[in-house]
């Protein structure tokens, strides 16, 4: 089931009883956040106990200062809605489809080839296609426009200003021509300029550096050391002093309010060379339709509600933040590139799609959980012993990963930690806890019981140094610090453990059956 645009998705949410229209006037400055925060946490602790966990998606139809606008928030804010966004009853369906594709072997004979045909036909459906026009360009404005024509939120009291929080940022790799879609928040500085918060390990930032490398070397490969110099000095995205940067610019397009599969694809930590348009096509089982931008050489989803076109200067950084982040703390101000908007196109009466981040659980937590489920089969390609993983929402995805493994050789838990730290954005994982396959990682109580029983901390905790998440406020330097792995598997004699390992306590079956039978007669319940 594919939704062609945000409006079809909103209609589906409505039919499923998952949408609440709010007619009372609300302010995009702080007030929408307070409402959405309460609804996100519904059903947890004493928050809105009568509401289903995660509450409904909210469509604000009377936004202060924006009489013609509507604001959608919390569209992904529960496991039910996250499933619906991808058109499945369970995320395992997506994981299984992915597994089938990864399982493709070289066909051994005619029959194998015939069996592969439906899959190949399916694959044709995933590739994006360019169409000649789309509703995202119903209105085109190349002058007298403002980013603040839309009800952009100020989320939290100490935020540096108003931020676009759910943008699909589209850039092109200058070497390969491949497009990337990443979700990077954008602080609004004024009518036509915003921040561009791609953290330095993200693909948008790499496209930007590719431009800088090329500009520094001036097209002369013999001068590639000039590019190395520029990389070392120009620390885009860190509080260290910058350096001389080459002049030049890079085009960027931003789509806001896309169909939910594409919005989700923009946060998926995909390998850099896999286009998110293709991932969205896979998730939707239907191609994403793209149109050419009006003023830049990029393509954008034809049905997006709003599109910003513009460029980023290679030699311009500006203070971005602070911003109340998904860590539950404000991320501090830092230097980031600046987007200059040259054109805005949008649908008639565009719906502004947004989110807030803050103390978990929030909407982005359910998006992260979906990534966890869908990526498990992919992780198994490099870590075949992986049984299950859990990234608890309070661990905010980069702080804690609990993994269970089928252990077959000494030291394997440490091998798994290193493998996780080498896997794309999992490199940021601050703490990895590795347990044996008999531990249910989805049960935090069981993990605490067994993992802590099973460790000798000095022996079983391993520290490494390396890249850490830009949002880590405790690391010794921005983006660089230490990480910890805990080997909580049972220790083997071949790992130098010579003491006996105790059995886990369980009652024998005979006694259990006896008590089952007598339970009523005992009169305890
Ligand atoms: C609501 C939300 C906001 C996000 N904001 C940012 C951001 O400001 N900067 C950033 O680098 N990543 C941000 N992320 C995470 C990226 O979208 C994510 O790492 C994604 O995989 C990046 O895509 P890329 O691998 O193509 O660079 C955000 C994620 C979500 C769900
Ligand atoms: Mn990407």
Reported as a pLDDT band with limits 50, 70 and 90, residue 169 is very high
Which of 72, 202, 368, 425 to probe ligand 1 with, by most ligand atoms within 8 A of CB?
Answer: 202
Average pLDDT over residues 305-318: 97
Query: Ligand 2 centre from 462 Cα, in Å?
Result: 30
Give the ligand whose atoms come closest to the C-alpha of residue 424: 1
Quick check: helix, strand or coil at residue 486?
strand
323 CB within 6 A, ligand 1: no
pLDDT in tens, 406-464: 999 999 999 999 999 999 999 999 999 999 999 999 999 999 999 999 999 999 999 99
Atom of ligand 1 nearest to the CA of 182: 23
Is the pLDDT confidence value at 149 over 70?
yes
Query: Ligand 2 centre from 263 Cα, in Å?
Result: 12
Is the pLDDT confidence value at 217 over 90?
no
3-state SS, one letter per residue, for 13-57:
HHHCCCEEEECCCECCECHHHHHHHHHHCCCCCCCCCCCCCCCCE
DSSP state of 120: H
DSSP state of 221: G
Helix axes 276-284, 91-102, angle to 10 degrees: 110
325 in active site = yes
Is the pLDDT confidence value at 152 over 60?
yes
Whether residue 177 contacts residue 167, with contact meaning beta carbons closer than 8 Å, is answered with: no
Atom of ligand 1 nearest to the CA of 202: 27
Give dist(CA 410, CA 6) in Å, integer.
51
Give dist(CA 393, CA 303) in Å, integer.
32
Residue nearest to atom 6 of ligand 1 (CA): 184
Reported as a pLDDT band with limits 50, 70 and 90, residue 46 is confident
Task: Specify the pLDDT at position 243.
Answer: 59
Token readout for 474 is: 């405790």
Token readout for 138 is: 């119903």
Cα Rg of the chain (Å, integer): 25
Q: Tell me the sheet residues that pair with 130.
A: 290
Catalytic pick among 149, 259, 325, 487: 325
Is the pLDDT confidence value at 208 over 80?
yes
pLDDT in tens, 367-390: 999 999 999 999 999 999 999 999
Average pLDDT over residues 238-244: 54
Query: Ligand 1 centre from 108 Cα, in Å?
Result: 42
**How many helical (H) and strand (E) elements, i.e. helices and strands, does the chain have?**
14, 25
Give dist(CA 370, CA 264) in Å, integer.
9
Query: Ligand 1 centre from 278 Cα, in Å?
Result: 18
Token readout for 295 is: 């003023």
CA distances from 508 to 30, 272, 277, 505 (A): 58, 52, 55, 10
197 CB within 6 A, ligand 1: yes
- DSSP letters spanning 226-282: HHHHHHHH--TTSSS--------EEEEEEEES--HHHHHHTTS---TTS-HHHHHHH
- Rounded to two decimals, the pTM is 0.95
Please give the mean pLDDT across all residues of the chain. Answer: 94
Percent of the chain whose predicted confidence (pLDDT) is above 90: 87
Give dist(CA 57, CA 12) in Å, integer.
11
Is the pLDDT confidence value at 235 over 60?
no
Average pLDDT over residues 170-192: 97
Quick check: helix, strand or coil at residue 86?
coil
Atom of ligand 1 nearest to the CA of 268: 21
Is the pLDDT confidence value at 236 over 70?
no
279 CB within 6 A, ligand 1: no
pLDDT in tens, 457-514: 999 999 999 999 999 999 999 999 999 999 999 999 999 999 999 999 999 999 999 9
């Amino acid at each position: 089931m594919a939704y062609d645009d945000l409006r079809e998705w909103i209609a589906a949410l409505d039919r499923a009883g998952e949408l609440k229209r709010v007619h009372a006037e609300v302010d995009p400055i702080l007030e929408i956040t307070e409402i959405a925060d309460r609804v996100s946490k519904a059903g947890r602790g004493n928050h809105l106990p009568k509401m289903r966990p995660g509450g409904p998606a909210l469509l604000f139809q009377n936004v202060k200062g924006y009489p013609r606008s509507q604001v959608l928030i919390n569209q992904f804010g529960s496991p039910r809605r996250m499933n619906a966004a991808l058109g499945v009853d369970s995320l395992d369906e997506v994981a299984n489809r992915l597994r089938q594709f990864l399982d493709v072997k070289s066909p051994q004979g005619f029959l194998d080839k015939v069996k592969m045909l439906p899959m190949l036909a399916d694959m044709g459906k995933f590739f994006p296609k360019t169409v000649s026009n789309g509703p995202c360009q119903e209105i085109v404005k190349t002058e007298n426009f403002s980013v603040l024509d839309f009800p952009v939120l100020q989320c939290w009291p100490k935020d540096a200003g108003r931020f676009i929080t759910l943008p699909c940022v589209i850039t092109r790799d200058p070497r390969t021509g491949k497009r990337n879609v990443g979700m990077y928040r954008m602080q609004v500085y004024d009518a036509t300029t915003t921040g561009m918060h791609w953290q330095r390990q993200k693909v948008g930032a790499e496209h930007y550096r590719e431009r800088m490398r090329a500009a520094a070397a001036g097209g002369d490969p013999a001068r590639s050391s000039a590019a190395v110099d520029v990389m070392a000095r120009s620390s885009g995205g860190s509080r260290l002093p910058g350096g001389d940067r080459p002049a030049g610019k890079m085009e960027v397009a931003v789509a806001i309010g896309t169909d939910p599969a594409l919005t989700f694809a923009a946060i998926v930590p995909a390998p850099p060379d896999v286009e998110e348009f293709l991932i969205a096509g896979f998730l939707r089982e239907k191609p994403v339709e793209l149109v050419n931008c009006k003023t830049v050489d990029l393509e954008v989803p034809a049905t997006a509600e709003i599109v910003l076109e513009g460029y980023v200067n290679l030699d311009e950084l500006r203070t971005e933040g602070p911003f109340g982040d998904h860590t539950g703390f404000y991320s501090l101000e830092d230097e980031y590139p600046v987007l200059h908007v040259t054109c805005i196109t949008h649908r008639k009466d565009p719906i502004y799609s947004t989110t807030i981040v803050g103390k978990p659980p929030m909407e982005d937590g359910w998006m992260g959980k979906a990534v966890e489920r869908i990526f498990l089969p992919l992780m198994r390609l490099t870590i075949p012993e992986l049984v299950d993983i859990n990234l608890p929402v309070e661990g905010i995805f980069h702080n804690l990963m609990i993994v269970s493994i089928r252990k077959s050789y000494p030291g394997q838990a440490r091998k798994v930690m290193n493998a996780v730290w080498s896997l794309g954005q999992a490199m940021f994982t601050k703490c990895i806890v590795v347990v044996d396959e008999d531990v249910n990682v989805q049960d935090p109580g069981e993990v605490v019981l067994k993992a802590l029983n099973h460790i000798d901390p000095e022996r079983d905790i391993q520290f490494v140094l390396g890249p850490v998440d830009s949002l880590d406020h405790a690391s010794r330097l921005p983006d660089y610090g230490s990480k910890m792995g805990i080997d909580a598997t049972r220790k083997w004699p071949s790992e130098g453990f010579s003491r006996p390992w105790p059995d886990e306590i369980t009652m024998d079956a005979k006694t259990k059956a006896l008590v089952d039978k007598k339970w009523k007669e005992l009169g305890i319940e």
